[in-house]
A and B are shown apart, each in its own frame.
Chain A
Amino acid sequence: MTALIEARNLTIHRPGSAETVLQSVDFRIDPGEIVTVVGPNGSGKSSLVRALLGHMPLAAGQVSRRPELRIGYVPQRVQLDTAIPMTVRRFLSLPRRISDHEAAAVLQRTGVPGLQRRQLTQLSGGQFQRVLLARALLHVPDLLVLDEPTQGLDQPGIVAFYKLIEDLRGQTGAAVLMVSHDLLVVMGASDRVVCLNGHVCCEGTPAHVSVDPAYRALFGAGAEGTLALYRHHHDHDHDHATVPDQGCDHDHHHHHG
């Protein structure tokens, strides 16, 4: 199977300095997969996403995207500037214009029908994330990239949002690459979890990762609770673990040194 995006030996420096954000990361995402990248703040999650999208220069390694790959992107913390008036309808037509019919249909799909005439600044956090998702779904993406899509949502909102992502994957077959710190909910929705802390600590199915010592070490006591809740909802199954434990060195600046 041809990967949608494949990265080899990816190393990224913080812009304008020699400080390493990511060291020797290998990554791939296949068609139809839901892959979630988890990690503490400053672990390089967003940098990884931006490098995969080609928005960030690489210090070393390669990223190859499948030719003609269509990506729908929801960036982290879209800062809405109140200085610019913008209706939901107008926002959906940036930068490519779409018909009123398409706009209505895509808002329906993401569960926020009829918001066309609202100002973006008047939306609740959950509505705004769904509008961003609707915009990302236009032009039939092969891959949805969502960077912390549930920030600012409450727990039921987060659960509903991930349910929506799973449904959309089912309907469209689009792969999903998600960055998140919502450990619990991420577990249920993902085919594969990549645990990141400057390098890949561990990787595999949610069940595999949640029992990985590296994962537990990284997320501490909270991870235990996550595991318990995860087991409660899903059959524990080790057979689908795809990638063996690579171990985790917490001080990533010295790793692979």
Chain B
Amino acid sequence: MLDDFFIRALLAGLGLAVVTGPLGSFVVWRRMAYFGDSTAHAAILGVALSLAFGMSIYVGTVAVALAMALLVSSLSSRGQSMDTILGVLAHSALAIGLVAISFVPSARADLSSYLFGDILAVGRGDLALIWTGGALVLGTLIWRWQRLVTSTLNDELAMAAGIDPRIERLVLSVALAVVVALAIRVVGSLLISALLIVPAAAARGLAPTPERMAASATAIAAASVAGGLWASLRLDTPAGPSIVAAAAVFFVLGQVFRRF
């Protein structure tokens, strides 16, 4: 019953869940919910540049996503609010990307295939990429965890402890950019943005500490991946949206059983 493509899809989803739990928690704590969308839009520009210069799509999208991360952290250091920055950058990146891609005739046709991946079509190479990238990002988060949480809570308290909040903000932005850029091609922009935000939001009311919230978010993301893929196999529904719908169910349950 479990075909090979299904196992690969499951492994890809679980690989993402492991990193989107903690990373998505930071997204919720720092109110960066639109970061995923901004990066996804910026990826169009990355695709255009990659095709124009004959580079790998991954190189182009990761490079543009990193540039976005740098812009986000430098603008927020200047006192712009995060939702405004993300709104400006998301729309600008989308517009500039669409303009840029109009100069690359070969790209126009398969633009959507570059951007909206299909988790059921995940190959072995994609799996390796997701698990390697995910492990690197997760390792970075664990390594800097105390500093990241302190500066997320309050900049002044962080500075008094010798932590530079700008550096922690940059670390998070870069980690987000890498995960989103790697995942877009494989699982699509809808799925990666949703896997960042929905499980973390669902876990918010269930956990008393940041660590437990991050772990709960990962568990919910993993359960959503498994449940969504199972539903898609049994009911012949589209895989990505089924995973997001499963996460949404967990979000509703999380509201009902809210304790903190």
- Known: A55-B159, A86-B153, A97-B146. Is A81-B210 also a contact (CB below 8 A)? no
A87 touches B154 (CB 8 A): no
A1 at the interface (CB under 8 A from B): no
* Interface residue B160 (Cβ < 8 Å from any Cβ of A): yes
Which of A15-44 touch B at CB < 8 Å?
Answer: 16
- Residues in B neighbouring A91, C-beta threshold 8 A: 153
B209 close to chain A: CB less than 8 A: yes
**C-alpha spacing A84/B213, complex, angstroms:** 9
Question: Is there an interface contact between B157 and A81, defined as CB atoms closer than 8 Å?
Answer: no
Contact present for B146 and A95 (CB under 8 Å): yes
Which DSSP category, helix, strand, loop or mixed, fits chain A's interface?
loop
Which of the residues A16, A73, A85, A90 comes within 8 Å of B156, measured between beta carbons? A73
Q: Which of A55, A90, A95 has the most CB of B within 10 A?
A: A95
User: B204 — which chain A residues lie within 8 A by C-beta?
Assistant: 83, 85
- State whether A94 and B149 are in contact (beta carbons under 8 Å apart), knowing that A83-B204, A119-B208, A119-B260 are contacts in the complex: yes
Residue A168 interfacial (CB < 8 Å): no
Cβ A81 vs Cβ B29 within 8 A: yes
Contact with B29, one of A55, A71, A83 (Cβ below 8 angstroms) = A83
* Distance, CA A75 to CA B210, complexed state (A): 22
Across-interface contacts of B213 in A (CB, < 8 A) = 84-85
* Sampled A-B contacts (22; CB under 8 Å): A53-B160, A55-B160, A73-B156, A75-B156, A76-B156, A78-B154, A81-B152, A83-B28, A84-B152, A84-B210, A85-B212, A85-B260, A87-B208, A90-B209, A90-B210, A90-B211, A94-B153, A94-B157, A95-B163, A96-B146, A117-B208, A119-B260
A79 within 8 A of partner (CB)? yes
Write the residues of chain A forming the contact surface with B, with a CB cutoff of 8 angstroms.
16, 53, 55, 71, 73, 75-76, 78-79, 81, 83-87, 90-91, 94-97, 117, 119
Task: Specify the main secondary structure of chain B where it touches its partner.
Answer: helix
A87-B208, A87-B209 known; A94-B160 Cβ under 8 A: no
Known: A86-B210, A94-B161. 20 other contacts (CB 8 A): A16-B78, A16-B79, A71-B160, A73-B156, A78-B154, A83-B29, A83-B31, A84-B213, A85-B204, A85-B209, A85-B213, A85-B260, A86-B153, A94-B146, A94-B149, A95-B149, A95-B150, A95-B161, A96-B146, A117-B208
- Interface magnitude class on chain B: 20 to 34
Residues of A within 8 A of B157 (CB): 73, 75, 78, 94
Tell me how far the C-beta of B209 lies from the nearest C-beta in chain A, rounded to whole angstroms. 5
B154 touches A75 (CB 8 A): yes
Residue from A55, A73, A85 within 8 A of B210 (CB atoms): A85
Instruction: For residue B28, give the distance in angstroms from its CB to the closest CB of chain A.
Output: 6
Pick the contact of A86: B31, B147, B209 (CB < 8 A).
B209
Please state if B161 and A96 are interface contacts (CB–CB under 8 Å).
yes
Q: With the chains together, A83 CA to B207 CA distance in Å?
A: 12
Q: In the bound complex, do residue B28 and residue A78 qualify as a contact, i.e. CB atoms below 8 Å apart?
A: no
CA distance A71 to B159 in the complex (A): 12
Scan residues 116-173 of chain B and give those whose CB is less than 8 A from a CB of chain A: 146-147, 149-150, 152-154, 156-161, 163
For B154, the closest partner residue in chain A by CB is A78
Q: How far is the CA of A95 from the CA of B152 in the complex (A)?
A: 11
Taken residue by residue from 210 to 225, chain B's Cβ proximity to chain A (1 for < 8 Å, 0 otherwise) reads as: 1111000000000000
Instruction: Kindly report which residue of chain B lies nearest to residue A93, judged by CB atoms.
Output: B146
* A90 to B, closest residue via Cβ: B209
Q: How far is the CA of A83 from the CA of B154 in the complex (A)?
A: 12
Q: A83-B29, A85-B210, A86-B210 are in contact. Are A75 and B150 (CB under 8 A)?
A: no
Residues of A within 8 A of B158 (CB): 95
For the complex formed, measure the closest distance between the CB of B169 and the CB atoms of chain A, giving whole angstroms: 14
Residues of B within 8 A of A117 (CB): 208
Which residue of chain A is the closest to B27 with respect to CB atoms? A83
Beyond A71-B160, A95-B161, whether A84 also contacts B153 by CB under 8 A is: yes
Contacts of A85 in B (CB 8 A): 204, 207-210, 212-213, 260
CB neighbours of B160 from chain A (8 A): 53, 55, 71, 73, 75
Alpha-carbon gap, A94 to B161, bound state (A):
9
Measured CB to CB, the nearest residue on chain B to A132 is: B157
